[in-house]
Structure 1
């Protein structure tokens, strides 16, 4: 049996939504935003005009979800960044589509393609590391804020207790210094 090579596996929208852990409607909203900002169908469609996704699309959409979670990003700005990156990638010449007339240079181009592929892998790992660092920073900030909130609540409780004790002491002192009321006969006879 012949082994197939260069076969692209496609992922249905329902499967993609499940893998990304979002609702299909949410995925559709995100994808429509990609189409709007790129001014074309950003993702491929099948013969029935239904969207289909590749493994590369899955990586891109996961990256989008991580980007949009960052405090400095909106959904639109995250999509725009990825669309711009994709356009920049599309505009770079594909080294593997070299004319067969240039066979003598093919080895050089293959080395360049390998180098470019390695660089892209390094960039991806750097981006993944930055995203992971941002995630850890976000978790650390959340923990710090929770600790600070607990400390503030403890201080507020101590202050409330102190205020209560102060009022009780004030009432006690006022009662001690309150003049004793004398009856009519005691006032009359000075006793």
Structure 2
């Protein structure tokens, strides 16, 4: 059993907050570590038989949580690895390590191949966009030229149509009767 130094220990509540787990989960993990520990109990206890956690214990529990969340790890395997046990023989572990390395290499090659395909597709899309941009630039140039031609033609037409206007004649003001009867009779 570890020696108890009140300053070095942390409460269960603080450990749960740091690991972001529930107290029941912490008890479960601590019980597994206590059960599989080679000598006595893994965690120190106080007079009331409550577990006391050190900073090293918190780091160990964090490692347990991280290992348990890794693919291919169970809680038992994680506990055994933390305590230095091997869940299989050394030969099996060497083969598993080599297989893991091969799997990693294969996955890495797959990722690189996917990225290369993505880059090729992206390059192809960029080339299509370049062609489209060139086509649109040519279209814009032809439209601008056409508009310039239309403007010059309209300027020529407006210049040709400008003829001096005759000055308007002053209209005599005629009375109503002169306007009506003047058409039929001559009224001076």
Specify the structure having the higher radius of gyration (Cα). Answer: 2
The alignment's TM-score, normalised by the length of structure 1, stands at 0.38
The alignment's TM-score, normalised by the length of structure 2, stands at 0.39
